[in-house]
Amino acid sequence: MDDPKQPRKSRTVVIIAAVIGSSIGALVGSNAMRSLSDSNLDQGLVQASKQINQALPMRLDDATRLEITLALPGKKLMYKYTLTNLTEKPDPKALVDAMRPIVTNTYKTSTEMANLRKQGVTLVYAYYDETGSEVAHFEVTPNDIK
């Protein structure tokens, strides 16, 4: 059932951003993680992030740009996105509700993300508007894909 408070264009942008964002997240994480060993995972994530960032920022669609990846302590890899060309700020809950199942399924099933899963890496997705204000963020942990 449509929510009259949220315009159709905004919902469509959220869904498009979810699909493209999860796909790009899978692709950019895969090559950099192939040679990662258990012995120094956090340092390996730093190197993987540096490699990924060489191709960024990357426009994914009219409303989404992948800005940067960051290796965070505790076996975490963050993807930071900017939502662009929006007429209004998306509802954070709607964004997370649209994206979480897609990126969780991608993480769980993608062969490109197998090494990330094997290493127990947590993926962090953070979305900002063009002013730099956070719109939403969430994590997909190894427990989410069991």
- Note whether residue 140 is domain-resident: yes
- Dihedral, 7, 78, 131, 4 alpha carbons, nearest 10: 10
Give domain status of residue 3, yes or no.
no
Total tally of structural domains belonging to the chain: 1
> Does residue 42 fall inside a structural domain?
yes
Q: Is residue 101 in a domain?
A: yes
User: Mean pLDDT in each 10-residue stretch from start to end of the chain (146 residues)?
Assistant: 47 48 51 58 86 88 90 92 88 91 89 85 94 95 93
Query: CATH no. for residue 113?
Result: 3.30.300.250
Look at residue 31 in the predicted model and tell me its pLDDT: 53
- Which domain covers residue 120, as residue numbers? 8-145
